[in-house]
Structure 1
Amino acid sequence: MMSNKNITKRQTNAQFCYFHSTLMGSSIRCIAKWRKTHLQPPKTLLVLFLAISFIYSWLLVVNKQQHLNGSNASLPNNITILLWHWPYGTRYSLAGDVCLKDYGISGCVLMDNRTLYGSADLVVFHHFELKLHKQHLPVHLRRPAKQRWVWLSLEAPQNNGNLSPYNNLFNLTMSYHSHADVTVPYGKRLQRKKPGLDFIIPKNKSYEACWVVTNYQKWHKRSAVFQELNKNLNVQLYGLSAKKPLPKEALLPTISRCYFYLAFENTQSPQYITEKLWRNAFQAGTVPVVLGPPRRDYEAVAPPNSFIHVDDFKSIKALAEYLRGLTKDPEKYNAYLNWRQDYMVKLYTDWRERLCNICPIYRQLPTQKVYEDLRAWAKW
C-alpha cells in the first residue's frame, strides 16, 4: 500500500503539471515525465489530464483566432454598438476592428448580429425603416439595465412622420442637428494645416447653372424658385425627375461644368444642410446657390464666402442677374472659391464612421435620460 506521503507527493506533481502546462504538447511532456518518475497512474487520471490539456489548448487557439478576426466585443473597456437594421437596406462589412482600422478609434466595437443584443451598450435604430414598418423595435426583449437605445434620423423633422409611438423608449438621439445627443452632419469644413495649392478651378464651365433632382414636387418651395430662375438663367436639369439620371461616376464631372449648382433642400428646416452642398457643389468645384435654413446656419458650418443664399435677394430675377454677372467677371466669381486655400471639406457618407464617432463621446452622454415625447424634441 502506498504511504500518505507518496500519495501527497504524486498529487502535488499532478497539480503542478495542470497549472503550468499552457499548450497540449507541453501538457503531454509533463505527464510523461511524471509517469517516468512514479508508478503508472490509473488510466482514468491520464485520460482526464489529456482531456483538460486538449480543451485548454483549444481555447487558446479560439481566443487567438477571435482576436485576429477583430471579435473583441467582450474586452472590458470596449463600447459595443449594435445596429439593429442597416439604413435603407444597404449592408456594410463589420469584419475586423473597423473603427480602429478605418477611423483610428479604439475600443469601439460595431455589431449587426441581433443575437448579441444582450451584450450591447447601445442599440441604434434608423427611423426611416421604423416609419415604413419595415423594421420593428424589440420591445418584447428584456433590455439590460445599462443598455441605451439610440434614435437615428438624418431627415428634417417634417419628414419623420408620427413619433408618438416611440415615446418613453429612447434614451439618446442621433441627428444632423446640434441639439441631438450625438450630432452627425452630412459634412464639415476642416482647416488646412498649410495653404492648399492642390485645387485648380475648373476651366470647362459650359453652363450657367445646373440642378440634379430626384424628388421634384410642385408644392416644394425649391420647385417654384427653380421655375422662376430658369426664366432668366440657363439651368441644366439632371436626375430622375428630369429623366436624365447621372451615374455616380458622372455626377461631379457633370456638375463641374456649371458655374453654379442649385443646392436646394427639399425642406426648409433649421440646420438641415445635406450632401447637396457638401458633395454636389463643393466637391464638384462649383459655387452653390443655397435654399434651406437661414444664412446664419450656413455660415456656422460652411467655409466663409463660399455660397450664395437665395434669401439675400429681393427677387429671383435679381438673383439671376447677379449670377449671370459673376459668370462674366472671373475675379468676382473666383472669390467664391478662394476658401479652398485655407479649408477643405469632409463628407460623412459611411454609416460605420458615423457609428464609430459615438465612442469618443460615450462617457459624456447622459446615462439616465429618456425621451418621454420624441416629437417635442424634434421640433426645433
Structure 2
Amino acid sequence: MKKCFLLSFLCVLLLCLYNGWLRGLGGLTAINPTAVCNRGSNSSRNVTILLWYWPFGMSYNLEGDVCWDLYRIPHCRLVDDRSLFSSADVVVFHNRELIQGCQKLPLALPRSQRQRWAWMSLEAPVHNGNLRQFANIFNMTITYRRDSDVAAPYGELLPKETGGHLVANDLRNKSSLVCWVVSHYQMHHKRSQVYSELNAAVPVKVYGQWTKNSLSSTDLLPTISRCYFYLAFENSLSKDYITEKLWKNAYQGEAVPVVLGPPLTDYKAVAPPNSFIHVDEFVSVKDLGKYLQELAKDKKRYDEYFTWKQEWKVKLYTDWRERLCKICLQYNSLPRQKVYSDLSAWANS
C-alpha cells in the first residue's frame, strides 16, 4: 500500500515538474509553480483600453495590434467601439469634450467593479473647467504631470545609443539673439510681462499670429535655429506643465531655451543640467538680458549648453494612441480600488 502511494506521489510530482518546465522554459527553480502559472496568465492577458471618444474629434487608425505594431507594447488592445464597453478594462474620457458638454459620461450603463475610468487632460489647470462635478467617478489620471497614474508628458529624454557624438554649432548661422513664437498674446500673462521687460533690454524677434508673422510647420525649426536663444515661455505657470515649447521648439530647434513656467526644480527633474536658462535664476529681467548678450559672445560657454546631446535625444509625444497604449505598462501596478473623491483638488494642487 505504501509503495503504491509513493509511486503515485512520484508520478504526480514528475508531471507537475514537467508541466512547469514547458510553461516556464526552465522553471525548475525555487519558484512556486502556481505563482509562475498565475504570473504568466496575468501578463499574457490582453488589457482592453476603450477610448470613449477621440480628443478634439481627430481619430486615428486602430486596425491590427496597434500598441505592439507601433510601440512594442504587448498584450494591449486599443479600441474605440462603444459596444465593447462591458468588456473594457479601462475606459478613457478626454476632459475638454466633457467640459464643453459635447460628450457625456455613460453613467447609466452598468459598470463592472473591475472596470476603471480614466480622466485624461494635457491642459493646464486654468483650462480644465469645473472638475467638482466629477467627484468619486474616476479611478485613474492621465496627464503631463509626473505624479499622474499614467504620465503623458509632451516630451522626454531618451539615452542615445553608444557612440553618439556632438556636432558643433555653426554660429555663423545665428542672426538673431532672442526669438519667440507666440500666437495667443495676453497682457495679463506673466510671459507677456517678462517679454516686454526683456525686449526693452535686448532685441527679441517675434513670430506667430500675434505679430501676423506666422511660420509654417516646415519653417518653424529652421527659423528658430538662426537664433541664439528661444523663449520657451508657457502660458500657464503650473506644476510640471512643460510643453513642446521646450522639447520641440527649443531643443530640436538648436537654440538655448530661456524657460518660464513651473519652478526651476520641475525643469531640473526632466531636463538635462546646463541645457536651459530659467527666468527665476535672475534678480531682474534686465540681468537676464545682460547674461544672454554676454553668453552669445562666448562660443565655448554657449556650446556647453548643447553637450547633453552627446548622451541624450528628445522624444516627442504627439500621437494619442501612444499615450493610451502606455496605460497597459502601468495597469497591473496601479491600485485596484482607487477613486478620486475630489478630482478638482488633485488637478489644481
TM-score w.r.t. length of structure 2: 0.84
Residue type of the alignment partner of 2:47: I
CA distance 1:119–1:268, change in 2 (3 Å): same
Counterpart in the other structure of 1:276:
245
Tell me if 1:92 matches 2:92. Answer: no
2:175 counterpart residue number:
206
Measure how far apart 1:345 and its partner are: 1.3
Counterpart position of 1:351: 320
Per-residue CA distance 1:322-352 (angstroms, 9 max, x = gap): 1011111111111111111121111111111
From 120, 129, 140, give the equivalent of 2:97.
Answer: 129
- Shift, 1:159, TM fit: 2.2
1:328 to 294, 297, 300: 297
The alignment's C-alpha RMSD in Å is 1.5
Gaps of 5+ in 1: 1-75
User: In the comparison of the two structures, how many residue pairs are matched?
Assistant: 306
Structure-2 residue corresponding to 1:177 = 145
The equivalences for 1:1-380 within 5 A come to 77-197=45-165, 199-203=167-171, 204-380=173-349
CA displacement 1:285-324 (0-9 Å, x = unmatched): 1100000111111111001110001011111111011101
User: 1:43-92, CA deviations, whole angstroms, 9 ceiling, x for partnerless residues?
Assistant: xxxxxxxxxxxxxxxxxxxxxxxxxxxxxxxxx81111011111122111
After superposing the two structures, state which structure 1 stretch, 351-360 or 111-120, moved more.
111-120
CA distance in 2 between counterparts of 1:223 and 1:286 reads 20
Contact 1:202 1:257 in 2 (8 A): no
Distance (whole Å) between structure 2 residues aligned to residue 95 and residue 239 of structure 1: 37
Aligned-pair CA distance for 1:195? 4.3
Query: What's the offset of the Cα at 1:111?
Result: 0.8
Deviations 1:210-267 (A, max 9, x none): 1111221110000000011111222111112221221111111111111111000111
User: Amino acid of the residue matched to residue 83 of structure 1?
Assistant: L
Query: How far apart in 2 are the matches of 1:137 and 1:127?
Result: 11
- Distance (Å, rounded) in 2 between the aligned partners of 1:242 and 1:127: 31
Whole-Å separation in 2 of the counterparts to 1:184 and 1:355? 9
Contact 2:89 2:116 in 1 (8 A): yes
Alpha-carbon distance between aligned partners in 2 of 1:129 and 1:246, rounded to the nearest angstrom: 29
- Counterpart of 1:154 in 2: which secondary structure? coil
Return the alpha-carbon distance in structure 1 between the equivalents of residues 143 and 169 of structure 2: 33
Deviation of 1:199 (Å): 4.1
The 2-side partners of 1:132 and 1:286 are apart by 37
Q: Which stretch shows the higher mean deviation, 87-96 or 289-298?
A: 87-96
The offset of 1:146, in angstroms, is 1.5
Code of the residue aligned with 2:108 in structure 1: it is H
- Secondary structure of 2:194's aligned partner: helix
**Where does structure 1 differ by over 3 angstroms across 4 or more consecutive aligned residues?**
none
CA distance in 2, matches of 1:241, 1:231: 18
CA contact (8 A) 1:202 1:256 kept: no
The structure-2 alpha-carbon separation of the partners of 1:279 and 1:79, relative to structure 1 and needing over 3 Å to count, comes to same
Measured in 1, the distance between the counterparts of 2:81 and 2:277 equals 45
Q: Which amino acid aligns with 2:77?
A: V
CA contact (8 A) 2:166 2:307 kept: no
Residue 230 of structure 1 aligns to a residue whose secondary structure is: helix
1:184 positional shift: 1.1
Amino acid at match of 2:190: K
- Structure 2 residue matching 1:134: 3-state secondary structure: coil
Provide Cα deviations, 1:90-135, integer angstroms capped at 9, x if missing partner.
Answer: 1111111111111111111111122221221101111111111121
Amino acid at match of 2:179: C
* TM-score, reference length from structure 1: 0.78
Flag the structure with larger Rg: 1
Q: 1:98, 1:226 → 2: CA distance? A: 43
SS in 2 for 1:130: helix
AA partner of residue 247 (structure 1): S
Residue 198 (structure 1) shift: 5.7
CA distance in 2, matches of 1:200, 1:161: 46
1:85–1:371 distance in 2 versus 1, CA, 3 Å: same
Say if 2:239 and 2:266, in contact at 8 Å, map to a contact too: yes
